[in-house]
Amino acid sequence: MEKVKKKVIFSGIQPSGCLTLGNYIGALKNWIKLQDEYNCCFSVVDLHSLTVRQDPKELRRRCMDFLVQYIACGLDPEKNLLFFQSHVSTHAELAWILNCYTYMGELSRMTQFKDKSAKHEDNINSGLFTYPVLMASDILLYQTDLVPVGSDQKQHLEIARDIALRFNHIYGETFTVPEGYIPEVGARIMSLQEPTKKMSKSDDNENAFIALLDSPDVIRRKVKRAVTDSDNEIRFAEGKDGINNLLSIYSSLSGKNMQQTEEHFADKGYGQLKEEVAEVVVESLRPIQEKYKQMMNDKDYVQQIYTASAEKALSISSRTLKKVYKKVGFVPKN
Ligand code: ATP
Ligand code: LTN
Q: Which amino acid is at 214?
A: D
CATH topology of domain 206-294: Tyrosyl-Transfer RNA Synthetase (1.10.240)
Question: Residue 17 carries which DSSP code?
Answer: S
Tell me the CA–centroid distance for residue 93 and ligand 2, in Å. Answer: 17
Q: Between these two residues, 119 and 142, which has the higher pLDDT value?
A: 142
> Quick one: pLDDT at residue 110?
95
Q: Which pLDDT value is given to residue 247?
A: 98
Question: From the CB of 27, is ligand 1 less than 6 Å away?
Answer: yes
CATH 3.40.50.620 fits 8-182+299-328, yes or no: yes
Q: At what angle do helices 299-328 and 90-99 cross, to 10 degrees?
A: 30
**What is the model's pLDDT at position 252?**
97
Residues enclosing ligand 2, CB less than 6 A? 10-14, 45, 48, 135, 138-139, 147, 149, 153, 156
Q: Which pLDDT tens digit goes with each residue over 269-318?
A: 999 999 999 999 999 999 999 999 999 999 999 999 999 999 999 999 99
CA of 23 to the centre of ligand 1 (A): 5
Residue 103 has pLDDT above 90, yes or no: yes
Give pLDDT, residue 202: 87
Rounded distance from Cα 44 to ligand 2 centre (Å): 9
Confidence band, pLDDT 50/70/90 cuts, at residue 2: low
- In our burial notation (b when 16+ CB lie closer than 10 A, e otherwise), range 291-311 reads bbeebeeeeeebeebbeebbe
Domain residue spans of the chain: 8-182+299-328, 206-294
- Burial bucket for residue 197 (CB in 10 Å: 0-12, 13-18, 19+): middle
Res 1: pLDDT: 59
Q: What positions carry a catalytic annotation?
A: 116, 198, 201
Q: What tens digit of pLDDT does each residue of 136-194 get?
A: 999 999 999 999 999 999 999 999 999 999 999 999 999 999 999 999 989 999 999 99
**In whole angstroms, what is the distance from residue 313 CA to residue 203 CA?**
32
Closest residue to atom 26 of ligand 1, CA basis: 22
Q: What was the pLDDT predicted at 74?
A: 97
Distance between CA atoms of residues 59 and 143, nearest Å: 29
Tens of pLDDT, residues 229-240: 998 899 999 999
What is this structure's pTM?
Answer: 0.96
pLDDT in tens, 6-19: 999 999 999 999 99
pLDDT in tens, 52-67: 999 999 999 999 999 9
Percent of the chain with pLDDT over 90: 95
- Ligand nearest the Cα of residue 200 is 1
Strand bridging mode 8-13 / 179-181: unpaired
Q: Would you state the pLDDT for residue 334? A: 78
Task: Indicate if ligand 1 lies below 6 Å from the C-beta of 189.
Answer: yes
